[in-house]
Amino acid sequence: MDSPVVTIDDGQLKGTQKTNLDGENFHAFLGIPFGKPPVGRMRFKAPKPAEPWTGIKDASKEGNICVQRNSITQALEGTEDCLNLHVYTKTLPFEEAKLKPVMVWIYGGAFRQGSNSPQMYGPEYLLTEDIVLVVPNYRVGFLGFLHLTDTSLDVPGNAGLKDQQLALKWVQKNIKNFNGDPNNVTIFGESAGSMSAHELLVSASSKGLFHKAILQSGAVLNPWNLCKDSSLKFAKSVQADTETEAQALDRLQRLCCKVLHRHQEKFLLTDAGSGAIGPIIEKPNETAIITSHPAELIASGQYNKVPILMGYCDREGLLVEFYKRLMIKAGIEPPAKYSQIDVDNFIHPDLQLAEDDPKRLIIKKKLTELYLQPPNVDDKFLLPSDYNFIAGIIGAAKLHAKTSSEPVYLYRMSLDAGCNMFKKIGKIEEKGVAHADDLGYLFSSEQAAPLLYRGVIERRAIRRFVKLWTNFARTGNPTPKGNDLNIEWKTCRYKDSSLLGYWRGAYFAY
């Protein structure tokens, strides 16, 4: 069947056909521009909407991805002209008049890598259900998250989040042309993508752009949410005589984007580079995403109140082992913290406690009692799991449940099976569900396919995952009345365990 032509505000598009898990055809429109190329003097700045085009644009092939190093091949790939998105839909308006729920996926990658590539995020599972899936690119690394304090330079930070927000505005304008309902949009993401979605959730400037949110293994209470103010330090690492932010911006905008990335890689191996890339609290400006601490916004109820589904994998801390193996493969000596537990590394940065602060000593003593003595002393991944992910996710869920009348659903993924993607990629034999293992049950992945096993259990899990997620996108409830899963998912009423109760106290007590 020939792919039809779709007309949107900016011009005409001719897509292609794909086949879902059930062997049914669906339409795919790939590489649709939603923002102007953020190059030259637009580098590091908030994006602008794409320019219209004439003629019929070929939307059968993927667009560019943002500059990054492929963690598998180690090749440096991509370009900064990357603001494009993919749309997948079963039907178009000439085939059916019914509007479908829209799901907008925000990929993870520690704000340093990731893309909308269908080789990683294939739509074949989700498109067994009657939804429209949108997968935008956004800028990663310093291209997306450089920030300068001089407001006259117009680089306040969070350009990558603003790319995501611009994609959501594109959805509001254009998604009806793909049978999507602009009044029923769900944002969902994993890891840094989940963190991004959560930032958009607490941003006043995102009001009305989406109506539900699914947050997988990332929340704004996690300690890696907000980055350090290191952008000028990065510029000085590129050229030592850089003294002002204006000099820094001029020099960094002149560099080839791949040369810039190589400087970024070197900087991230230094102490100054730790936590240097990611969202930041901006000074008030017309494009700002967040100007107050997200935790304060949630606690005070000042955010977009929509139904939320959020959760984590039961052994998130296995991510440490995954990164350790990646570094060894790349010829980099892993830091000692990847092999040894030092409680000094697990004190939340928001507490801002000096080395000799008595409160810091109290926290270190308590962490030692909880994690470095029986019964938990033998589980070296428990503290990284709780500190980096689980405590903040559960804490955020409880805060949302307290401050919003909209439902909050909390989950823990504990299925350790053949599609646990990142354990398979990292060849990790440890028991438990690692960070990002859930992706193998929502997306088909050509990259990971040779490593995955899809038997009866895995196929059943894929169906259930997809059904729960798309039910939520459709109705705001993962198990609405009459659902064919024959289960009821109750809203968040999570009781603190002794460990997670500690984290709640530690975060809010000081």
Closest CA to 391 of 496, 509, 280: 496
**DSSP string of 370-408?**
HHSSTTSTT-TTHHHHIIIIIHHHHHHHHHHHHH-SS-E
446 is catalytic: no
For residues 23-60, b (16+ Cβ closer than 10 Å) or e, as one string?
A: eeebbbbbbbbbbebbeeebbbbbbebbeeeeeebebe
DSSP 8-state assignment for residue 352: -
DSSP code, position 284: S
Q: Tokens 């085939």 label which residue?
A: 95
Cα separation of the two ends of the chain = 63
Query: In this structure, are residues 407 and 80 in contact, taking their beta carbons and an 8 Å threshold?
Result: no
191 included as an active-site residue: yes
Tokens of 451: 């490593």
The answer to whether the beta carbons of residues 268 and 276 sit under 8 Å apart is yes
Length of the chain: 510
Contact, 120 vs 105, CB < 8 A? no
The CA-based angle 385-350-214, given to 5 degrees, is 50
Catalytic residue (one of 80, 115, 190, 191): 191
Contact 4, 16 (CB under 8 A): no
CA distances from 391 to 125, 219, 220, 353, 398 (A): 30, 10, 11, 19, 11
- Please name the amino acid found at residue 394: I
**DSSP three-state, residue 244:** coil
**Is 126:158 a contact under the CB 8 Å cutoff?**
no
Q: What is the DSSP letter of 12?
A: E
* Residue 375, preceding peptide bond in cis (omega within 30° of 0): yes
Residue 11's beta-bridge partner residues?
8
What phi and psi values does residue 278 have, to the nearest 5 degrees? 155, -175
Which residues face 6 on adjacent strands?
Answer: 13
Among the residues of 118-158, which ranges form H helices?
142-145
From the candidates 124, 316, 321, 458, which is the catalytic residue? 316
Paired strand residues for 109: none
Radius of gyration, CA atoms only, the chain: 22
**How far is it, in rounded angstroms, from Cα 305 to Cα 87?**
26
Q: Is 33 helix (H, G, I), strand (E, B) or coil?
A: strand
Strand-pair partners of 187:
104, 213
Helices (H), 300-378: 319-329, 358-371
Residues acting as catalytic residues: 191, 316
